[in-house]
Structure 1
Amino acid sequence: MIEYRNLRIAVLGAGSVGAQVASLLLTHKEELAGRVGAGLELVGIAVRDLDAPRTAELPRELLTTDARSLILGADIVIEVMGGLEPAREYLELALTSGADVITANKALLATHGPELFAIAEQVGAQLYYEAAVGGAIPIIRPLRDSLAGDRVNRILGIVNGTTNYILDRMDREGDTLEQALAIATELGYAEADPTADIEGYDAAQKAAILSSLAFHTTVPLESVHREGITSITHDQVLSAKKGGFVVKLLAVCERLVDPETGEDGVSARVHPALIPATHPLAAVHGANNAVFVEAEAAGPLMFYGAGAGGVQTASAVLGDLVSAARRHVVGGPGVAESTHADLPILPISRVSTRYQITLAVVDLPGVLAQIATLFAEHGVSVEAVQQTVGGEPGPDGHTPGATLVIGTHQATEAALAATVADLAGSPVVERVESVLRVEGL
């Protein structure tokens, strides 16, 4: 017998996620009530257009364009409208009114998260955001709660399904980037304007959220180094495959020692990287996401699953809803975000990793020695070199160049950048074809 009063739930947005959240809440309200110990009453769904098509059948009487009134009459507000404004305004209104808030809005959290968390802490409300990273994959709660007593050293994440689908097709089907992007668009994995995905903006927002959680330090979005996949070529993917690697767009969040000060710091970056074909992340295919966590006591952990989709993301939202509703029934203030470590955010230049550099060089004696000297001058140690000779001299006497694929040991980004700049200016180097970081070793 449920004795607690019904909890009033407001949903902001009825797009692919919002419509599924509302539909599932209406369909399973009795079952959810049994888990919570209170009835969950959907009191309204705020939309911009009452007549817009929806991905799920919703009672018209629940639709409203008056978001502010809806928010002020709710115990729990679910924001799935996206964008920065008016989402930020609405969530501030919800929190200051004492409502708990659930959001799937990664852009909002990456940009305005600290101020929203501060408001929630001030009024004793709770801000839930499991659906903001990884869709249906449970990663926020494990980092925030389960691993709160551990020391997370590193996170490698495939957190954008569009780019993973594209790179996976390039690896397994031999597509060019343009061909794979066209298919991703046709299947609905990529937007008509795919910039946020293929240029790494979406993944950078998620990296800011994950690193802030993992290292108990506020990591602003502007501190996340970002590179997309638009420079990745079919030849690079093929070369990686021959060398026992796959190319993935990775969000890399790590605790490291600042080489200049010797103190602990935090780095968050997004870029294409080579990972060994034997690494668990190499087996993440299609539009799936995965987050690989390296913790000091718990060891390596991987969270894998659908990273997007209306019903999948709705699953994470409803999980947060059950948690929020239980808190109302049991009572007590919200739990503040743990961002008090205040570790310095280190620039990409101070990060150390391995690299693979592909060079087109002239095919003459002594070239390898000259190139090795340039690496040594900058303190970058060469681990392996593969050489492919261009061919026989042509009628004009010009000898086609050779290709060198050089793998390095650990080196700082600053040292590697200086090395590549000198290589580009060397008379024996025709061009620097690619520079890829190697992660997961």
Structure 2
Amino acid sequence: MFLRFREAYSQQSPASLLTKQEAIAQMLENNYGVRIAENQKLIAENNKGILNSGYLPTVNGTAGANYEQTDTEVDFGGALNQDGSVRDNVNIQDAETRRYNAAINVNYTLFDGLGRLYNYKRLKELYNLSELQARQTIETNALQLMSVYLEVARIRENVQVLEQALDISLKREQRAQYQFDYGQVNKLEVLNARVDINTDSINLLNAQQQLRNAKRDLNLIMQRDIETSFAVDTTVTLLNELEIVSFIEKASENNVRLLQADRNVTVSEYDIKTARSLMLPRIGLTGSYGWNQTDNPASAFFPSTTNLSTSLQLGANLTWDIFDGGTSITNYRNAQIRFKNEELLKKQIGDEVKRDIANARGNYNNALRIYQMQEQNLITNQNNFTRTEERYKLGQVSSVEFRQAQVNLLNAQTTKNLAKYDAKLAELQLLQLTGQLLNVEL
């Protein structure tokens, strides 16, 4: 019965291996947060283009048509014709007047106090900032992905350990049953073995459910069907100490938060210059070309006429807001204050990053030492279990002592697994703070 139980719950259908790099690639392609960040970067790229710079002229065209219909009656007030007769009134019905016009107008700002130059540079910096924001989103999601990936790997190894523990308990129950059948042990030995099988089976069931849940979490981060089956790579490779030290030394050049703070300071500098440009005069050029046509109907005194005209106009203008109520001065002063705030924020972020890196370095070193100690502890427990198992087969130790050695080995194996993946996660957190998370083989 217990053998069928183990087969039913420990066997897994074959699944393709999902490597760490493949998982990150799928996350970058499908994750909603990453896609939104990339779209924000595209918006910033459009904003920094020449079409949004203010350096190009504005051109607009106008056209119009008017129609007028009038009825006219002219009374000559008793005036006489040349032959002495009274001149008749003149009635003109449905006289139509048509007017057509079209024009093209061009405006170009020749000088605006260098405002558009600084604004253009500011937009370029905002694009660079959007790239850093997208990178930060990618790093955050990559770290989250790797955290869940490592958790899946850890639970998978725990499942294997629990399967081995159940296998040992099954063999022990079988051995106890044979011994009982031949009268070498009492029924209590068999019952104790079955109790331990039940405990190991429950632990295995719980671990398998945790594994299924963790896989769904990983599929969700990659934005794919949460029931997609896959296997993970349980190999953990840690970087050497020299690489870690070199990354920490260059952290100020690569940390994404520090780089963003630098960009924000630069943007604030351009804000000051843009605000100052509003207090300078502006010189603009204008030009237009127009066409007009008027079709006039015949009147009492004149025949119908058509007037056609074209015009070309060129001009220049100077505008200077000598005093605008103090708005420009206020904006300039506020821009200076915002610049000082950005510099203070940059210093604050610098101190926070130094602290975070120091903490992450300490956490990594501590996790590494714990992992090394747990490896030694596992070797000790493996040796202890091997010797206890040999003595148990010879009848020199009780089943309780054997079970205790087995539980100690199981705990040592799962604790070592936890320490291994904790060390790798601590390393990844340190890599993110040094700006190298996306630059190394995970």
Task: Give the TM-score range, shorter chain.
Answer: under 0.3
User: What TM-score results when the alignment is normalised by the length of structure 1?
Assistant: 0.24
- Greater relative contact order (Cα < 8 A, sep 6+): 2
User: What TM-score results when the alignment is normalised by the length of structure 2?
Assistant: 0.24
Give the helix-richer structure, 1 or 2.
Answer: 2
Give the strand-richer structure, 1 or 2.
Answer: 1
